Structure 1
Amino acid sequence: METATPAQHRTPRPRADALRNRERIVAAGREMFVEFGADAPLDEIARRAGVGNATLYRNFPDRHSLQREVVCSVMDRVSEQIELMLAETGDAFETLSRFVHMSAEERIGALCPMLSEAFDQSHPELVASRERVEALVEELMERARAAGQLRTDVAVGDLMVAVSQLTRPLPGIACLNIDRFVHRHLQLFLDGLRAPARSELPGTAATMEDLRQA
């Protein structure tokens, strides 16, 4: 009897064109969810990606699986950028500011409407991506706090709420015209984070756990 070789047990690698199709679908999904919200038509996402509906559903059997992939891909890309920032030396608050402005470019606020009650927020891939980005943002804030540049009465939850709200475009192409104001308003917010604090904040600093329980 022939013994199977390790190569015969190996899962076949996806073809390059199949990987490109998947990447195009995720990119198109991100664009459509930003422009039209979580209920953007999947048929239109397939059309924008340049693939057939069958290809979309072969990769993502339902809306939630595509939404999860879009959310994870954005969070993973943000995490990679933060890791590069943390590897640099320089002004800690300036690094934190770069993250905030980069978040606007990634449109992370547009992801929030997809995290509805029907969305499986405990999916292992989503949890891993979320915990990674949260830990890295906390590290960015801790560096600025240790340098005496970040006010001490804010936590990572405060930052993420503000960034999510300020980078969330309203659904519809016409609303994208307000993008030119986003970085201006983010800078106003960042100035309010600088130490020494010019005011006393009401309530207590918000953690990410506080946000999940809200």
Structure 2
Amino acid sequence: MVTATGRTRKVPRPRADALRNRERIVAAAREVFVEFGPEVPLDEIARRAEVGNATLYRHFADRGELIREVVCTVMDRASVQAERALAEESDAFEALGRFVHAAADERIGALCPMLAGDFERHHRDHSDLDEARMRLEGMVEELMEQARAAGQLRPDVAVGDLMVALSQLTRPLPGIGCPGIDRFVHRHLQLFLDGLRAPALSALPGAPATLEDLRREA
């Protein structure tokens, strides 16, 4: 940074312990939001992260800012999983399936719906969210296109179909305390993936769901 006197002054970088605290807060918030929903007391998130309340508020001014950071982090991590699947899997459908299971582990179905309703109305600057969402959607489209080009993906499905199923199948059922729920999530996701394979065993009603369809519904 150049000062008024023309001298260059280094901008201080965040301390390592501050970065660790921020990462712990985001990780704890991800877990707590999945378990209890977006209205959980922030005190509980601070307790789970093993930091003081003041530390939490130094990093995140309010609940909306924390929710946005958690969801952006989850979408970014899912995008990285998609990139790795594309790079490392020689079978296009195996790459798609690997991504779907990895996205479920990120709890994407439980967290992304938190961006609706009051959050969207009161937080107008969504540039970071839009960027993370567009990157993820682009990776999912590429995964599906490669599987379709290989003749492995049934032709009457679109990326919106996958995103709807991923959201619904990875969202915890309300009012249940089911230990080991992940093994059921992945079981049902595999059933869904088997239904995506070509050749199709039945005709689907309606038209494929596109991302534009989902945005119009929102």
TM-score (normalizing by structure 1):
0.93
Residue type matched to 2:182 in 1? D
> Does the aligned pair in 2 maintain the 1:37–1:171 contact within 8 Å?
no
Partner Cα separation in structure 2 for residue 22 and residue 105 of structure 1: 21
Instruction: Give structure 1 stretches of 5+ with no counterpart.
Output: none
After superposition, the Cα gap between the structure-2 partners of 1:63 and 1:172, relative to the gap in structure 1 and judged at 3 Å, is farther
**Cα pair 1:169 1:175 within 8 Å, conserved:** no
Equivalent AA in structure 1 for residue 69 of structure 2: E
In structure 2, what is the equivalent of residue 3 of structure 1?
5
Q: Pick the aligned partner of 1:190 from 190, 193, 196.
A: 193
Note the C-alpha offset of 1:177: 4.1
Instruction: Please list, as runs of the form range in 1=range in 2, the aligned pairs for 1:175-186 lying within 5 A after superposition.
Output: 175-186=178-189
Between the aligned partners of 1:108 and 1:156, the Cα distance in structure 2 is 15
Q: For residues 96-175 of structure 1, what are the structure 2 equivalents within 5 Å?
A: 96-120=96-120, 123-170=126-173, 174-175=177-178
CA distance in 2, matches of 1:182, 1:202: 25
For 1:28, the aligned partner's letter is A
Q: Show the counterpart of 1:23.
A: 23
Gaps of at least 5 residues in structure 2 are none
| Matched AA of 1:49 | A
**Corresponding residue SS for 2:88:** coil
Residue pairs, 1:38-117, within 5 angstroms: 38-117=38-117
Given that 1:157 and 1:210 are in contact with CA atoms closer than 8 Å, whether structure 2 keeps it comes out as yes
Q: Tell me which of the two structures has the higher relative contact order, counting C-alpha pairs closer than 8 angstroms and 6 or more residues apart.
A: 1
TM-score by length of 2: 0.91
Letter in 2 for 1:78: A
Q: CA RMSD in A?
A: 1.7
Could you tell me which amino acid in structure 1 is paired with residue 193 of structure 2?
L
